[in-house]
Amino acid sequence: MANVNAAIVYYSSTGTNYQMAQWAEQAAKEAGAETKLVKVPELAPEEAMESNPAWKAHYEATKDVPEASSDDLEWADAIIFSAPTRFGNLPAQMKQFLDMQGGLWGSGKTVNKVVSGMTSAQNPHGGQEATLLALYTSMMHWGAIIATPGYSDQSVFGAGGNPYGTSVSVDQDGNMVEDVEGAVKHQAKRTVDIASRVTAGS
């Protein structure tokens, strides 16, 4: 396998997507990749977080996680994004981070990055597929190579069967409803594998 640099870029308000990002990083390392786990900056004012103790607690608990930068994207051969859905779309925090990459895009440095996305919502039909499609629309503009899991492993079915990318429902207590750890790890390893082929071919 060719050497692959894998960036796991996430946004998480209460911890679900942080956990998914950690599983993805673990699997990418197991697949032989050099990894970076980075979060996009929080945009919400602290007053907004005060109304949700879990949001505030997670924000405080992950203050030491490095913030994502354009340099991380340029460094990466593979990029795995994880973010919750917001009204069927990407959350503003992730969208702003993507929108700020015009310099990379304009200089052709997003071309042929191998990318994949994961997401979460409060229920199975809460915009999970639409959120991943919104992410992938931006990736098409980047000239990136989108590596979805499809139905390439049995773990996808056990996680709810989303071929666009692993997605999970979260109950009122903040617990994941489906068992998605295996699907996340499969998706990460598949993304690294495809990136290794692209890297070797170039």
pLDDT tens readout for residues 85-143:
999 999 999 999 999 999 999 999 999 999 999 999 999 899 999 999 999 999 999 99
pTM: 0.96
Q: Are 81 and 116 in contact (CB under 8 A)?
A: yes
Domains of the chain: 5-201 (3.40.50.360)
pLDDT band at 1 (very low <50, low <70, confident <90, very high): low
Category of 118 on φ-ψ map: left (φ > 0), alpha (ψ -120 to 50) or beta: beta
pLDDT, averaged across the chain = 96
Which pLDDT does position 172 carry in this prediction? 87
